[in-house]
Structure formats: C-alpha cells, structure tokens
Structure 1
Amino acid sequence: MVTTESDDTTVAPAPVSLKGPLLRFRVLAYLTGVGLLGLTLAFVLKYAFDAPGMMGWIGVTHGGLYMVYLVVAVDLALKARWSIKGTVAVLLAGTIPFLSFVAERKVTQRVQAGKKL
C-alpha cells in the first residue's frame, strides 16, 4: 500500500495484467512442444533408419525455442506468483514430449481462474 504525504488515504497498487505474459507462454509452450516432437522424430529417423538429416537443424531449433520458453515461463511465474515447485514443473515440461501441451492447458486454466501453481 502506498500512502500520500498530503493525507492518510491509501492507494492500492495496480493489479498486474497476465494477459500478455500468458499469451507469450502459450505460444512458446506450443512451439516448444512441436519442436520437441520434431526432435523425437529426428532421433527415430537417425537411429532406426540411418537418416541423420533432420538432427542438425531441428536440435538447434528446439534448443533455441526451449531457452525462450524458459524465459517466458519464468516471467509468467514471477508475475503470477507461482510456487517454486510449480515453476520448476512447468519449466521441465518442455523436455518431455507432449507434456508442454498438457502444461500449457493447465497453466492457462489456472491463470484465467486466478489460481496459483
């Protein structure tokens, strides 16, 4: 609470809008999930069919997307005041195929409901 010097009225701080951070998180969660599925396909092609062509570019692409996903998820976690445990779980979701999609849905539902992770 902020008090003014001229009188004793109290001004509440403005609530933090989570619309922008949530949208950024959702986009990056989706892109990271698609990138990880592509990387999984590239591993299968490389080791099962001796076709390493996709490994070079898809690995770098997913790695870059995952780094941006981490930054965006931490930004949302700080603004939404998530617990450390919830934040770490969401950060790790980008490393397991399909889990980033599940995490994105759960995070979206909880943030829109005003609940913390």
Structure 2
Amino acid sequence: MKAALNAYKVIATIVGCLLIVLVVIGVPLEFLSADGSGAKSAGNFLTEYVGIAHGWLYMVYLVTTFVLSRRARWDVPFTLVTLICGTIPFASFWAELRAIRHTQAKHPEPVSA
C-alpha cells in the first residue's frame, strides 16, 4: 500500500504541475501573443511538448490512481472524482490531498510515516 500511495503522490504532483504550466502559461502565450514574437514561439513550444508530456503522464496517473484505489478499497464515486480531477488545473492538488488523507485514515498502519 505504501508504495502505491507514494507512486500516486509523485505522479499526481507531476501531472498537476504540468497541467498548470500548460494551461496558465503555454496556452495564453500561444494564443494571446503576436504572430512571430518570442512569446508566441515559447507558447508553441510549451503547448506542444508540455502538452504531449502531460498527455502521456496522465495515462500513467490513471493507472497509478486505479491501482491505489483497488488496494485502498476506495468506492467507485471517490475513485471517479479523483481520476477526473487530474484533468482540472489546481483541482488535481485538492484531489491528491483528499486521496492521501482518505487512504491514510482508512489504512493508518501500512501508510504511516
């Protein structure tokens, strides 16, 4: 359980950070900057490469979250909310904290310290 929870913590944080960089920095730079500007180029770079990285890592997040949900015996609605929150900027961090607290509360021995 501890390994699954730690893997979830790591991938949820990475996916959440990449999503914020993509949505808060990359997309506005790409679509709000003048054509041919350095900001437009930076936005194109961020949306292309960070977007691809986020997409692949989100798949890892889905699998990791599902594995943790089965080991921690989460109910289906809790699991679905946690999975969906990985697609919403800033909500992913709330879902991560919620999932960690929920898991530690239900299984204090295997995941403490």
1:96 aligns with 2:79: no
- Percent identity at matched positions? 36
Letter of the aligned partner of 2:84 in structure 1?
L
Of residues 99, 102, 112, the one that matches 1:107 is 99
- Map of 1:30 onto structure 2: 13
- Superposed CA RMSD: 1.1
Tell me by how many angstroms 1:89 deviates.
0.5
| Structure 2 unaligned residues grouped into runs of 5+ | 35-39, 108-113
C-alpha distance in structure 2 between counterparts of 1:85 and 1:112, whole Å: 18
Structure with more helix by fraction: 2
Tell me by how many angstroms 1:49 deviates.
1.1
C-alpha distance after superposition, 1:15-46 (max 9, x if no partner): xxx21100000111100100101111211111
- Map of 2:29 onto structure 1: 45
Tell me by how many angstroms 1:53 deviates.
2.5
- TM-score in terms of structure 2 length: 0.82
- Give the greater-gyration-radius structure (CA): 1
- Map of 1:7 onto structure 2: none
Could you list the runs of 4 or more consecutive aligned residues of structure 1 that deviate by over 4 angstroms after TM superposition? Answer: none
